[in-house]
A and B are shown apart, each in its own frame.
Chain A
Amino acid sequence: MSEEKELQLKNLISSQAAVEASGDLRQRISALAGYHDSSLRHRRAHVGRIRFAFAASLSGIAVLAVIALSPSMVSAHTLNIIVAAVDSAKSMHFTMVDVSKSAPYGSYEEWVQDGAFRIRRANGETTLWLGSTKYVYSPSAKTVIKSTDSRGRFSHGAPAFKMSSILQGMTDARRTPAVVTNTIDSASYRVQVDNKPVGERYLFTVDSKTDLPRTMDVERQEDGVWIVKAKGTIQFNDKLAPELLSPNFSLDAKVIDADIYTDSLSKQFQKTLATVSLPTGHSLSIQDAQASTKGDVFLMYAGSGLSGDHWAELTDERGTKYMKVDKNNGGGFQDTVLWLGNKTPVIFEWWIPIDVSPSFRPHTYTLRFKTQKRVKLNKPGTFYDSAIEDFGKPASFKIDHPTTADVPAYAPIIVARDPSVGVNMPTDDADVQRVTATAMCRYLQQVWLDKSGKPVETMGFGGFATYNRKVTGYRRDIPSLEKAYGFANQEVAIDDAYVKVNGLGTANYQGYIDLFQISTLLGRTEEAAKYLEDIRKYAPKSVTNELRWRDFEMSMGNIPAKP
């Protein structure tokens, strides 16, 4: 009886436990294991590694500060806030790993030593700076793009590792974080930095003797409780393996010298295809126009006088409108400026046809620039952008045949030359599809109709506010919204597959925002409420705050209230 009872007990207890780990969990832990095995290999290769404890002169990095300020990824802007400092470490190895399924950061690893800097993402994409030479290795494209950035990675001064320097860096960047410091024991103390705009906080454990941080947790608030989303570990003063700080990547990767490449491009751009004028009278010359087999258009144009107040418009002879891919609509990169030999800026742009064409057709395209008239308000020195637009003189050009399946060969090279980190040009079909779906979805959401029924393009939330129009006509644009809904679903599906393949933490919450907005506009309130939950789960607080705008619209009765 006793044995029988114990057997029942065993069955009961074993049956309540999960039997097998999901593929997703296996993948996440496998990515984590990959990092540790690789760093362990490097360390084992240097059994007699030298420790430079309490070393004096320093080249460190405020990468920790950078991460703290922009945890999603380091960017050109945040790199620029690096503060000059003499610090107390000779090398640094930083590992950042998503520990939560809903963490949106993406795991990555950084190494710094003797002015060299390397960052590797979970998917293997690696950027290496050696002085003023930058290498961008893409395992999927099997290329290493080498370029020179005269400013170098540490042009803003030697990086700082010390906790006090990191906090100073944040203060200098005008973030003025709320900092709480607690003593743990005689050997260490803890620093908590609140990053209120994004609803996060960072918890550092710091060595009291050296003031160097050892660990960093990124936390987000959920249901009033702070939850650890990502964990960073930092090792100082290990002598890093030489191969980490040398430009030896995969043997089968093709090395492209971007400087030589752009010199040859500048020769190619001697001829001007067409000239387009700005409303201000300045003119730009279109140097190159290519199309892909999918019908996307890639333009490069040179000239000056272009400011942020100008919007380009691309159409073809059939009236098809094109949407420019940029950071605001899922492209992940800004218009890239290529400086040619004579210091002429050449702007690279990627355009997607709004009417999805299954394949390329020869077209005559028209490019024109517009700006909005500024109207002075009663309050001195304040203006608003009126709906009245000024146009420059358009330019027309023809493309007879496609030259690429995805993006032009030059695109990833000039994007890799960008001095910032984390700027990637999609080079394979899946990536291009993802960007396309995202851009289309964003565009179609932003097509509104004014009172007279005329389509009005807004620039998202801010654009809507400046138009100051009571938008009631968008319901008539249901077919576009249905299309946008399709693209948003596609976007989420591709994003999901993307993060799984690359071992990242979670899908991009932006897709859920798209689905929420569109289903709200379509009157599918239950569905919208579901997506709103997803957004609240995945998005930082700054984003969820932005959604108050939607609540406002609901309260105005312009769109149905939440169930």
Chain B
Amino acid sequence: MKRIEDIEKMSPEELEQAAAEAPVPEGLAGRIESALAAESVGQPPIVIPVLARKRLAQKSAGRLLRGSIVATLAAAAVAAVLILHRPAPKDSFDDPLLAYQQVEETLQFIAQKINEVYK
């Protein structure tokens, strides 16, 4: 593989020889001929490979976007489930009578606070 500096130093003869030795892609001659023929009758040159590349790029970008949306929404759904699903705390009382007394005391405490405000 030649470097750009080497190519720039080459004479026109050397460049011509290098071009003659370089491998030519298959069907290149046909594509050039058809492009030239189309141009000569006023039709746009054949650009199918470029369009195909663009379409492929658009398709893969679309797939990537869809994948990102699904991944983001899935992550948000998992996070939402983790936030909303919390185990219930353990009851402080086993005896309903003791629990009743606690509730009664709590209501009395609230009432006492209200009473203090209106005193």
A and B: bona fide binding partners = no
- Give B residues with C-beta under 8 Å from A: none
- Give A residues with C-beta under 8 Å from B: none
